Amino acid sequence: MDQLTNIFKILSDENRLRMIVLLYQEELCVCELSGILGIPQPRISQNLSKLRDLNLVDDERKEKFVFYSLRRDNKIFTEVLKNILDDLESYPQLVVDKNRLEDKETYLNQCCAISD
């Protein structure tokens, strides 16, 4: 029961929900999530840590970046997200986020410029 209540606690936070919806669509690094959502990197990392602790995301290092992807083994969690995406037009902020997802490379390049 704890896992179920934790999932709904995670989904009740707007920023985490926005991150999860993006990660449902594709894997992203912290820089990309930060740029797309307009949220500072430390806050993104903090939320990703919570998601990782609950086994909702996986991380993989690629060169100097860590990319995060949504785990698909929790059926309730993935079904809720699928339903949200099926009705995405009802959530204007999520539509904005999805449109900004198309420019994810821009945010990754900005991150590279900062760290070089």
Our count of domains for the chain comes to 1
Longest dimension (CA), the chain: 46
CATH code of the domain in which 30 resides: 1.10.10.10
Compute the distance between CA of residue 116 and CA of residue 26 in angstroms, rounded to an integer: 26
116 pLDDT higher than 50? no
pLDDT in tens, 1-16: 787 888 888 889 999 9
Task: Find all residues with CB under 8 Å of 85, minimum gap 6, and list them.
Answer: 21, 24, 25
pLDDT in tens, 37-72: 999 999 999 999 999 988 999 999 988 888 999 999
* Residue-range definition of the domain harbouring residue 44: 2-115
Place of tokens 């919570």: 50
Q: How many CB atoms lie within 10 A of CB 29?
A: 23
